[in-house]
Structure 1
Amino acid sequence: MTHPHRHESHPKIISRLNRANGHLSAVIRMIEEGKPCREVAQQLQAVESALRNAKQTLIHDHMDHCLEEGTLEEQRAELKAISRYL
């Protein structure tokens, strides 16, 4: 059985994702209520920003803690694999 993969940054990432989820729910409500496009676009920007920040934190944490294992070739391969998501 595989052990859970957790880092100290994960609660912070979860918080950012919950914030993005709240913004996304607000965007859906705004569209359903016929709010102005400019206001909807502003909220969508907030969703994108929260997701981008969560992704960056996760990837940077992975680079700091998970690239220490394996051979140099394996580390490079892992860095290339994860960097495609930046």
Structure 2
Amino acid sequence: MSEARPHVHQTHPDIIKRLRRAEGHLRSIVGMIEDGRSCLDLAQQLHAVEKAITQAKRTLIQDHLDHCLEHVVGALPRGQRAPIDEFKAITKYL
């Protein structure tokens, strides 16, 4: 659910740029299908779009963890930070 106030992070412009590029690329793939291009060409291009979207998602999630989670958790003594730091580290494998 979205909040009433804007929720903007430093990485959002990069994510928007990545998604717009993927959007344009996806439109070109539709054209490739309509033109009867080979399945190999289509699969390669779809893979590239999929990777771009996955990277945008990964960037968004990492940014959220680095900023929103840190904001909620606040300053913790070093001994109490271990679970938070481990959680952030393991999400890089999503």
> What TM-score, normalized by structure 2, do the two folds share?
0.72
**In structure 1, what is the Cα distance between the partners aligned to 2:45 and 2:24?**
10
Q: How many residues align?
A: 76
SS in structure 2 opposite 1:21? helix
Instruction: Specify the code of the residue in structure 2 equivalent to 1:18.
Output: R
Unaligned runs of 5+ in 1: none
Instruction: Tell me what 1:65 maps to.
Output: 67
SS in structure 2 opposite 1:66? helix
1:6 and 2:12 are equivalent in the alignment = no
| 8 Å contact from structure 1 (residues 24, 44) kept in 2 | yes
Instruction: Specify the code of the residue in structure 2 equivalent to 1:37.
Output: C
1:41 and 2:56 are equivalent in the alignment = no
**In structure 2, what is the Cα distance between the partners aligned to 1:19 and 1:52?**
13
Asked which structure has the greater CA Rg, the reply is: 2
What is the CA RMSD across the aligned residues, in angstroms?
Answer: 2.0
More helix by share: 2
Aligned-residue identity in percent: 53
Instruction: Tell me what 1:56 maps to.
Output: 58
Q: Which runs of 4+ in 1 moved over 2 A?
A: none
SS in structure 2 opposite 1:5? coil
> What TM-score, normalized by structure 1, do the two folds share?
0.78
Unaligned runs of 5+ in 2: 75-83
Cα shift at 1:54: 0.2
